[in-house]
Amino acid sequence: MCTYCNIVPIEVLLRLSEDTSYSADVRRGLAETALVDDQLRKLREQARKVTRASAAVAPSLVALAASPVNSVFTCNNATTLPGLPISSPQTSPDQTVKNAFDTTSDVIAFYQQVFGRNSIDGSGMTVISSVHYGVNYNNARWNGQQMLYGDGDGAVFVDFTGSNDVICHEMTHGVTQHSLQLVYINEPGGLNESMSDVFGSMFRQWKAGQAVGAADWLIGGDIIGPAAARKGITCLRDLANPAAAHCIAAQPSHYSQYVPGMDPHFSSGIPNTAFYTAAMAIGANSWDTAGQIWYSAMTGSGASPNMSMKKFADRTRQVAAQIFPGNAVVANAVDQGWIHVGL
């Protein structure tokens, strides 16, 4: 049963830490990252429960602000959160600080302009990012309240703010927390991770102005370090080919391969494949049609913490008919996308 929520799964960190082709220092750093993540995941799960309880008390949120404040802090390689505030992150000489601010601003704009969402919670919450977390920390994560980013070890991974899909991935975990509120185990956990991969890839395409046929559909391509690249690793995950050898860990792409208790970072390959298949069949820009369906399915019907993949698949079919009525191409693409993965 997995309850982790970071861009790199703990199982992968532990596997890499035992790979003797990497130096002892690199392997130790990977193992230490896994240990830190074990503690951080407890904070995130508690935050999810608080979000759920708060929604029950105040189901109709009042907007905090018309647009969110984008705040960046630096941990200066310590682990105290949120760290020290950066007064003008947009002009910082520290490229990591600037990456975090600029890309977070872009993700905020993406959700606002494409989906009409005001920040992570939909009500203008302040967006907090902490960079330079820990020493050689090999991960990025949403901890239930904010994002934090490690610098990587320079060998297997590099600066986690350098991949814009990673930043959107982590922020989308917050969106999921404030919408479907999916638990992070079994099928809901796989859906949770998939939402972040789907919107992370979609954001990357939106930012580049790419139609579906021009996109690479990779997650985390810009955080792969030179030592991993020499082994032929080019990304964390590939929505177009989840089992590809160039991914840092292969994923299943069909529901028949799903096993209860599977790490959500692996089972997410199933709904990822469904989205990719549907988006490619529809064509044009992923965010205009397929993305609208997935967003509405994620945010339009309230919390469903234990949602199964089949239930989410059926919800996207219903939403497709509702927001694109009479469009047989779209309806068929969504339906066949899920049929392709056994759902």
Residues marked as catalytic: 170, 265
- Rounded Cα–Cα distance for residues 51 and 186 (Å): 20
**305 CB neighbour count, 10 Å cutoff:** 14
Peptide bond into 82 cis (omega under 30): yes
Q: How far apart are CA 329 and CA 190, in angstroms?
A: 27
Q: What is the maximum alpha-carbon separation in the chain?
A: 60
Rounded to 5 degrees, φ, ψ at 238 are -135, 110
Residues 228-252 as b or e (16 or more Cβ within 10 Å = b): beeeebbbbbbbbbbeeeebbbebb
* Token reading at 305: 């913490």
First to last CA, the chain: 23
Question: CA distances (Å), 287 to each of 124, 163, 192, 210, 282, in order?
Answer: 22, 19, 19, 10, 11
Q: 92-96 long-range CB contacts below 8 Å, 24 or more apart?
A: 94/131, 95/159, 96/131, 96/132, 96/149, 96/151, 96/159, 96/161
CB 107 within 8 A of CB 167: yes
CA 256 to chain centre: 24
Please say whether the beta carbons of 157 and 224 come within 8 A: yes
262 near 190, Cβ under 8 Å?
yes
CA distance 249 to 266: 8
